[in-house]
Chain A
Amino acid sequence: MTLSATAEVEAPTGRFPRAENRCRVVSNDPVNAEYRLLVVDAPETGLTAYAGQFFHLLCPTTGSEQPFLRRPMSIYRIDRENGQLGFLYKVTGKGTRALMTLAPGDELNAMGPLGIGFDLPQGTQHVAMVARGVGLATLAPLAKLATSQGAKVTAILSARAPDLLMSRDELEAAGAEVIEVNDLDGNSKPEDVTDRLRAIHAETPIDFMATCGSNRLLGLTRDLCTEWDITGQVAVEAFMGCGLGMCYACVVPIRDADGNEEMKRVCYDGPVFNVNEVTTW
C-alpha cells in the first residue's frame, strides 16, 4: 500500500464573508429574446462580492418546477452604492424557469459570494475581454474593477445575432471601450477577432486578458496570451451540487505547467482559472 501525500495547500477559508443572503427582488425583466436581468437588494455580505465570483441561488418552487439543488449564477452587477446585485441569466432549464417567476418584493436566498474570482494585478494597463453568450454577464464586473484600478478596458462582445448582444451599456458605463461582433455579420470568427486584438495590441499594448462563454474564444485568448507573454484568465461554468467545495460534483481537469492533470472544483478552486490550466470554459 502506498501512503503518499500532496504538498499543495487548499485555498484558505475565512478570507471572505459568506452567508445565505436573504435578498429582496427589485426587478426581473427580459433584456432581449433570450436573457433576463434579475436585480435584488442585497445585505452587506452579498455586496462584498468581487469580479468573477458567483452566488448559489435557491430557486423558488413553483407549481410546475421544484428545483432541489441551488443554481450557481455569475454576478453581472455589483452596485455597492445602491446596495444591489444583478444577475443576467438565460432561461434554459427548471432552475432558471423558476427564477423567472420571481416578482418585485419576493425573497431570493442567495448563498455567497462564492469561489475565487479574477485576480487582476495592480498596475495592469490594458485589459482585453472577449466574451460570448452568458460570458458577457460574467465579465461585466471585471470592467468596473479594471477601470477603477486605472486600467484601460477593451471588450469584444460576440453573439449569434446583433439583437442578442448584451452588456454594451453596462460595460460603457464602467468605462470600457466596446466592440460588438456577431455571426450574422460574419465578423465573429476567431481569426477575425484575433486580427482585431492584434491591431488593438499594436496601438495600446494589452497586458491582461479575460474570457468567458466560448471555447473558441478561450483558444484564441490562450494563444494571444502565450504570444504576448501576458496573463489570461477564464471564468468556467459547471453544473454544481453544493457550491462550497463539499460534494466534488463540479470538477474539471486542471493542467499544471508540467502538463499533469488534476480534477479540481469549479465552485471552490475556481470558477476563474488561468487560460493555460483548462481545456474548456
Chain B
Amino acid sequence: MVDLSVTVGGVSMKNPIMPASGSIAEGMADIVDLGRLGAIVLKTITPDIRQGVKPPRVVEYTDATLFSIGIPSKGPDYLLNHTVPFFEKFGPPVIASISADTAEDFGKLAGYITDPRIAAIEANISCPNLRAHGRAFGMDPVAAAEVIAEMKANTKLPVWAKLTPNVGDIAEVARAVEGAGADAVITANAILGMAINAETMTPRLGNVVGGLTGPAVKPVILRMVNQCAEAVKIPVIGCGGIATGEDVVEYMLAGASAVQVGTTNFVHTAAMEQSIDWVTDYCTRKGIARVSDLTGALMLPGDQPSEQRGAVAL
C-alpha cells in the first residue's frame, strides 16, 4: 500500500496531484471525480470584475497552446458565495488564487477572502504591476516579496507564490518570496510568447502576446523546479506541461513536493485521475512506500548505487 499523501505549504493532501489555476471549472465536475484530487485550485480572481482581453484568445501548436485570456474575474464575493461552496463539497482542500494591480491590493484581497473553507491562497504574481509600468510582480524579486509580505500580513492562511518563468534567475525570486514568508512556491506560470499570421500580417492573439503552456514547456519548467528546489527550504509545486503520471514522477524527482496539471485538462479530462493511478503503480513497482520520498530523489551521475538501483531507500 503506497502512501500518496503529502503536506505542502501548510496543506495536507491525500495525493500530490491538483489542477493548475484556471484549468478546472464547474463543468469539469460532470466528467471528473474531483473528490480524488489532492487539492482543488480555483481560477484566479481579482478585486474587481474583469472581462478579460479581446479574442482571439488561443493559438494551438503540436503539443502546446499560447493563451491570452486576461484573468476574467467575477470578484471576491462571487468566489465566496458561489465558487467555494460549489467546489468545497467534493472534499479536497480548496486553494484560492488571487491577483491584483498593487501589492497592497493583494494583501487586502487575501484578507477579504480569508475563510475556513479555503485551505491556502495562491498569489498569481505573473500579472502586471501597475506601479511598475506594467512589469509583472514576479519578474522583480523585490516586488514579488512585497506581494507575499502584504498577503502574509493580512491572512493567517498559507500563501503559495506562483512564480513566472519569464526571468533570468528564478531561484532568486523563489528565495525572495521565501524570505517574505511564502509557504510554498509554484513553479511556474506560462512562458511569454507571441504568434503571427503571415497571410494577414497580424497577431494571432487579440492581446498580441500570451503564455505558452502544454507538454512542450516541460523541459524548461522541470529545470526551473530543480533550481527552485535547490534554492529554498519551502516546498516547490511543479507546474509545466504535465500530462501523465510519468511527468508527475519526473517533477517530483526534480524536487517538487506536489504538482499541478493545467493545459492537459483541456484535452484529456481523465489525465489527473490516470496520473494518480500511474504514480501509485510506479511506487508499488519501485518499492517506494511514500510518494513524498520521490521529492528530490533524482540520482545524478555518480550518485547511483551499483546495486538495487531504484529499488528502495531513496
Contacts and interface: CB of A to CB of B under 8 A. Distances in A.
Interface string A62-74: 0000111110000
A246 B266 contact: yes
B72 A241 contact: no
A251 interface: yes
Nearest to B215: A68
A13 B67 CA distance: 25
A58 B56 CA distance: 21
B202 interface: no
A70 B105 contact: no
A257 interface: no
Central interface residue in B27, B43, B57, B60, by most chain A CB within 10 Å:
B27
Given A68-B63, A239-B56, A251-B57, A246 B22 contact: yes
A263 B51 contact: yes
Contacts of A19: 31
Interface stretch (A2-10, A98-106, A136-144): A2-10
Given A1-B105, A19-B31, A69 B69 contact: no
Contacts of B269: 20, 111, 244
B312 interface: no
Contact of A244 (B27, B47, B78, B112): B27
B57 A248 contact: yes
Interface in B74-124: 74-78, 81-82, 100, 105, 108-109, 112
Interface string B1-44: 00000000000000000000011111111110000000000010
A120 B203 CA distance: 40
A10 B52 CA distance: 17
Interface string A225-256: 00000000000001101111111111110000
B150 to A, nearest CB: 12
Nearest to A16: B30
A68 B62 contact: yes
Contacts of B51: 262-263
A14 interface: yes
Contacts of B52: 248, 251, 263
Interface residues on B, range: 35 or more
Nearest to B24: A246
B126 interface: no
A248 B60 contact: no
B88 to A, nearest CB: 15
A17 interface: yes
B26 A10 contact: yes
A20 B78 CA distance: 30
Nearest to A65: B62
B30 A13 contact: yes
A97 interface: no
A69 B63 CA distance: 9
A50 interface: no
Given A2-B47, A69-B65, A241 B26 contact: no
A221 B25 CA distance: 33
A9 B57 contact: no
B162 to A, nearest CB: 17
B64 interface: yes
Interface of B: 22-31, 43, 47-49, 51-52, 55-58, 60-65, 67, 69, 72, 74-78, 81-82, 100, 105, 108-109, 112, 214, 265-267, 269-270
Given A6-B78, A244-B266, 9 more contacts: A1-B108, A14-B29, A20-B269, A68-B62, A114-B27, A246-B22, A248-B69, A248-B72, A249-B56
20 contacts: A2-B47, A3-B76, A3-B112, A14-B30, A20-B31, A20-B269, A67-B60, A68-B60, A68-B63, A68-B214, A243-B266, A246-B22, A246-B43, A246-B266, A247-B266, A248-B72, A249-B69, A251-B52, A251-B57, A251-B72
